[in-house]
């Protein structure tokens, strides 16, 4: 009976695979369905939840009932004052009425909500920088190309000290062009073309191309297949993380790859690839930790401040996310990417 009722809504299959914790309620606020994540957050199986009042699991009861009474098909309403009866874990609730009359309740853990807000701010920052970059690119790159062409013509007509000066001018022009190109890499890119990539071979090639003598440990999951990524862009992100570890004075770097099944990425259902780099160099300065992924934020005296912002942009292009942790003698960056077998 209960199963037939849920099927009649026509939402059970999609609902069960949502990447957020979600429940369906009837008009008396009794639980009709709970997806896997909701069961994990409430630490109760769906079989035990069915037919029970949501107020038995979420408090404060009066505020919960008041929120549910406001629900309508016109909008989604939310509040962040709630917590689980068992464990008192804080949650934000997002409530809306479905076309079939059921009430959907999305539960966002406080930590996840803060992470989502942070990711949203990062996207907004990247989009703003992208708009500025496109405007400045047209203003700078065209006259810069003309200046380089004229300088090359001049190079063919001079000698001696004058030739050294012209060569220095060309070097400076190329350096400016490199800076402009680096600025453009921060902006969002659409329709990134994916291809089969062996992630372990990619990491190894980045390490082998570096003239260094530090200890490198690899903890790779050999079961990870070739997967769909943008090879050049992902290589750039790996190179930036590797360079950061070296510039922090590390003498030990650990690379780890894993297949994760409990990491949720928006718009992706299935396994997630985690790529982690751990180093024992200088920790990230405390005053920039909250904004380290923003463009032109750096803790290095001669850093451009673009390295981590590019890492974040590459991860976003792939539909993933990046997480950083830093403490004395241990800093780690983890890339979470949708694992789509080639």
DSSP 125-154: HHHHHHHHHHHHHHHHHHHHHHHHHHHHHH
Domain ranges in the chain are 2-109, 114-184, 195-338
Composition of the chain by helix, strand, coil, percent to 5: 45, 25, 30
Confidence of residue 18 (pLDDT cuts 50, 70, 90): low
Write the CB contacts of 274 (distance below 8 Å, at least 6 apart in sequence): 256, 257, 258, 259, 260, 263, 334, 335, 336, 337
Distance separating alpha carbons of residues 107 and 331, to the nearest angstrom: 31
pLDDT in tens, 212-249: 778 999 999 999 999 999 888 899 899 999 999 998 88
Class of the CATH-defined domain 195-338: alpha beta
For residue 71, pLDDT beyond 70: yes
What is the pLDDT at residue 7? 38
Model pTM score = 0.55
pLDDT at 319: 87
Inform me whether the pLDDT recorded for 267 exceeds 50.
Answer: yes
Q: Are 91 and 82 in contact (CB under 8 A)?
A: yes
Over residues 165-211, the pLDDT tens digits come to: 999 899 888 888 876 765 555 555 545 678 999 999 999 999 987 76
Coil vs helix vs strand at 261: coil
For the domain made up of 2-109, give the CATH fold: Beta-Lactamase (3.30.450)
Q: Three-state DSSP class for 335?
A: strand
**Residue 329 to residue 215: CA distance in whole angstroms:** 15
Span 50-67, pLDDT tens digits:
999 999 999 999 999 999
């Amino acid at each position: 009976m209960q199963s037939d009722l849920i099927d009649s809504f026509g939402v059970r299959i999609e609902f069960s695979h949502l990447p957020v914790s979600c429940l369906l309620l009837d008009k008396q606020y009794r639980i009709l369905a709970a997806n896997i994540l909701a069961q994990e957050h409430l630490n109760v199986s769906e079989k035990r939840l069915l037919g029970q009042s949501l107020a038995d699991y979420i408090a404060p009861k009066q505020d919960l009932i008041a929120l549910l009474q406001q629900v309508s098909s016109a909008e989604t309403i939310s509040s962040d004052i709630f917590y689980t009866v068992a464990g008192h874990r804080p949650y934000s609730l997002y409530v809306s009425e479905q076309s079939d009359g059921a009430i959907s309740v999305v539960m966002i853990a406080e930590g996840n909500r803060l992470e989502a807000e942070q990711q949203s701010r990062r996207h907004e920052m990247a989009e703003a920088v992208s708009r500025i970059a496109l405007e400045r690119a047209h203003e700078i790159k065209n006259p810069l190309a003309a200046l380089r062409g004229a300088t090359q013509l001049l190079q063919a007509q001079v000698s001696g000290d004058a030739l050294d000066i012209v060569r220095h001018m060309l070097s400076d022009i190329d350096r400016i062009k490199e800076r402009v190109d680096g600025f453009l890499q921060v902006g969002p890119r659409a329709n990134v073309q994916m291809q089969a990539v062996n992630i372990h071979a990619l990491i190894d090639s980045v390490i082998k191309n570096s003239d260094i003598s530090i200890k490198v440990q690899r903890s790779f999951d050999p079961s990870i297949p070739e997967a769909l990524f943008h090879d050049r862009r992902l290589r750039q992100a790996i190179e930036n993380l590797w360079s950061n570890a070296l510039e922090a004075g590390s003498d030990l770097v650990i690379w780890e790859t894993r297949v994760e099944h409990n990491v949720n990425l928006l718009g992706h259902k299935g396994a997630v690839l985690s790529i982690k780099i751990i180093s024992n160099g200088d920790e990230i300065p405390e005053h920039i930790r909250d904004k380290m992924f923003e463009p032109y934020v750096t803790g290095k005296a001669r850093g451009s401040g673009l390295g981590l912002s590019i890492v974040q942009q590459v991860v976003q292009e792939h539909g993933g996310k990046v997480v950083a942790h830093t403490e004395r003698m241990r800093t780690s960056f983890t890339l979470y990417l949708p694992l789509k077998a080639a």
